[in-house]
């Protein structure tokens, strides 16, 4: 019988010294289990010679049966965008703070790895958004986002104006600080702070959340994940708006630029421990209180 997850790629948060200890422990465990280990070449924190090959992120995605992400949710967001087309499952190990996406703690990572290598885990698929910016008919940005695509006003305290269309039909003209287009995964991030609803990860939907709208009747709207959202940048009161993907990729816009956002064809595969409980993580992250047994 062929063992699952024979080749495993390791990706860590760059510039964080806490990554070293977790990486050393994981790669030592995987070596004992007879697994082939690939290291993301962005990992520069490891001291001394390394017995495992360092490869580009693209090669890691092509060769790995599993990618382990060590860091926070932001590290996993970056990895998800770069690995989505390779259909490689992702497992997140946090660096001390429970995340919505990285839910394996350093203290339990070898135990959880043993369970996962033995086939005891939960797998879910999370869809991404594909954002495209057109300027005078030319594409100036094309990027994916697991959490959200955000139109925002940049660093100036003035509103921007834009039209929003849904599947080619006019929805509204808005004056605000911007608009968040979020997946269910991102509904617990920036969209939540803007007053948007929490969407369960299995929902086939996305949510449009205005950022500080001038007209208070502009409210969040939940639409089908099969929708195409189009935004046309209008007047900006001498403000240069920006569009960002997962808060990590940022591009300045001009008046007349068109932003198209739709679901990416490929989803990511996210692995969790067998006893993963989404609502337990919500309670912990959002401080909803404790269960009666733990009071």
User: How much is the mean pLDDT over the chain?
Assistant: 93
The neighbour count for residue 104, using CB atoms within 10 Å, is 25
CA distance 87 to 83: 7
Q: What is the pLDDT of residues 138-167, one digit of tens each?
A: 999 999 999 999 999 987 888 999 999 999
Cα–Cα distance measured from residue 118 to residue 129, given in angstroms and rounded to the nearest whole number:
32
Q: Domains of the chain (ranges plus CATH)?
A: 7-120+274-294 (3.40.50.10330), 128-265 (2.60.200.30)
Least confident of 12-21, 22-31, 235-244: 235-244
Task: Give Rg (Cα) of the chain.
Answer: 21
Q: What is the DSSP string of 167-230?
A: TTEEEEEEEESEEEEE-TGGGGTHHHHTTPPPPPTT-SEEEEEEES-SSTT---EEEETT--EE
Is beta strand 90-94 parallel, antiparallel or unpaired with respect to 258-273?
Answer: parallel
CB 233 within 8 A of CB 242: no
Beta-carbon contacts of 113 under 8 Å, excluding residues fewer than 6 positions away, are 26, 29, 30, 68
Active site positions, annotated: 73
| Tens-place pLDDT, residues 229-273 | 999 999 755 778 999 999 999 999 999 999 999 999 999 999 999
Round to whole Å and give the CA distance between 21 and 122: 26
73 within 8 A of 99, measured Cβ to Cβ? yes
Model-level pTM?
A: 0.93
Helices within 33-106 (DSSP H only): 57-63, 73-83
Q: Is 256 left (phi over 0), alpha (psi -120 to 50) or beta?
A: left
């Amino acid at each position: 019988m062929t063992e699952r997850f024979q080749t495993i790629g390791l990706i860590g948060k760059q510039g964080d010294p806490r990554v070293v200890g977790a990486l050393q422990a994981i790669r030592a465990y995987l070596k004992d289990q007879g697994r082939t280990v690939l290291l993301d070449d962005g990992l520069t924190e490891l001291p001394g010679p390394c017995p495992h090959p360092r490869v580009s992120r693209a090669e890691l995605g092509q060769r790995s049966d599993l990618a382990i992400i060590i860091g926070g949710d932001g590290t996993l967001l970056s990895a998800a965008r770069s690995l989505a087309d390779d259909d490689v499952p992702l497992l997140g190990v946090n660096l001390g703070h429970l995340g919505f996406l990285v839910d394996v703690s350093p203290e339990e990572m070898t135990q959880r790895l043993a369970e996962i290598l033995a086939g005891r885990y939960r797998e879910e698929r999370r869809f991404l958004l594909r954002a495209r910016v057109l300027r005078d008919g030319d594409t100036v940005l094309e990027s994916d986002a697991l959490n959200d695509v955000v139109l925002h006003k940049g660093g100036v305290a003035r509103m921007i104006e834009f039209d929003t269309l849904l599947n080619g039909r006019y929805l509204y003209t808005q004056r605000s600080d911007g608009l968040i287009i979020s997946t269910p995964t991102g509904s617990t991030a920036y969209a939540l702070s803007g007053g948007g609803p929490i969407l369960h990860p299995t929902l086939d939907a996305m949510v449009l959340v205005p950022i500080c709208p001038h007209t208070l009747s502009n409210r969040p709207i939940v639409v089908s994940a099969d929708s195409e959202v189009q935004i046309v940048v209008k007047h900006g009161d001498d403000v240069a708006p920006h569009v960002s993907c997962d808060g990590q990729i940022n591009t300045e816009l001009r008046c007349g630029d068109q932003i198209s956002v739709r679901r990416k064809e490929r989803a990511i595969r996210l692995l969790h421990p067998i006893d993963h409980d989404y609502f337990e993580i919500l309670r912990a992250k959002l401080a909803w209180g404790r269960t009666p047994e733990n009071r």
